[in-house]
Amino acid sequence: MSLPIRWAPNAIEDLSNTLTYVEARFGVEVALALIEKIETTTALIAEFPEMYVRSIQHPDLRRAVITRQTALIYRISSDAIEILHVQDTRQDSDF
């Protein structure tokens, strides 16, 4: 049984900023390909929430790498998966 995916407001803002940057820098086709990869990954997370690596610093968080530059940070609860951030992996993080 898969869990529903919920996007936190910060994650929606991160996603919007990332897609705007990717589209401006690399074009619409690359941005659409990134959206497809994110959709595929979120479907996997919904079905298999524990398949991605757990944070050492924050054991309640997990990180799903989408591309070398992009990852989803999420938390598993009893009734849903909450996407907390869309992380630009080129930036420092305490994950």
DSSP states of 27-63: -HHHHHHHHHHHHHHHHHHHH-TTSSEEPSS-TTEEE
pLDDT tens-place string over residues 56-84: 999 999 999 999 999 999 999 999 999 99
Q: Model pTM?
A: 0.88
If you average pLDDT over residues 23-47, what whole number do you get? 96
Instruction: Please give the pLDDT value at position 89.
Output: 72
Rounded Cα distance, 32 and 5, in Å: 20
pLDDT for the residue numbered 3: 92
pLDDT attached to residue 10 = 96
Strands 81-88 and 70-76: antiparallel
Map residue 82 onto helix, strand or coil.
Answer: strand
| The one-letter amino acid at 61 | L
What's the gap between Cα 47 and its chain centre?
15
Quick one: what percent of the chain has pLDDT higher than 70? 93
